[in-house]
Amino acid sequence: MGLTRIRCPYCRAYLDPAEKTCRCSECQTRYHFSCWIENGNCAVYGCAGRCEEPKRAILVWLAPCIALVSLCNSWTMAALSFVMIPALIISLFSAFYYGVMMVRLPQGNRFMYAGYTFLNLCPIVLLYYLFIHVLVGAK
């Protein structure tokens, strides 16, 4: 009976101990993770706590990229390496240097965060690469 349920200061719903929550780094107020990302800062009046960018695994796309490249033969690889190699180098450098970039997109009267890394360019380049591979009909 002595337990008190905690409310999220942003959405005013109760926090469930089983769901993902986070705390403001300044005032230690607990939030639903999605509420913290959506609001972008602490909802407590006067608190200067800001939303830190969530870190994603930088090499998430590396395994699929390697798998897709292994499907291509050497002729196609040589023909399109002038596009592929610089794109991969730039993508990897950008991902390691910048990490995750956050973009605030308006959604009604609130904002939604869309996170992406430059490494997400790799699958697009590889799909284009495979499309050319199929179009050329290389075996």
pLDDT, one tens digit per residue, over 12-53 is: 889 887 888 888 888 888 888 888 878 878 888 888 887 655
Residue 120 — φ and ψ, nearest 5°? -65, -10
d(CA 21, CA 36): 9
With beta carbons less than 8 A apart as the criterion, state whether 38 and 63 touch.
no
CA distances 91 to 38, 95, 124, Å, are 27, 6, 11
Distance, C-alpha 81 to centroid of its chain: 27
Between 8 and 82, the higher pLDDT residue: 8
∠ at Cα 102 (25, 35), nearest 5°?
50
Domain 1-52 top-level CATH class:
alpha beta
Taking alpha carbons only, the member of 5, 6, 4, 9 closest to residue 35 is 9
Most confident of 1-5, 49-53, 58-62: 49-53
Residue 136 pLDDT more than 80? no
State the span(s) of the chain assigned CATH 3.30.40. 1-52
The set of residues, in sequence order, having a beta carbon less than 8 Å from that of 27 and lying 6+ positions away, is 42, 44, 47, 49
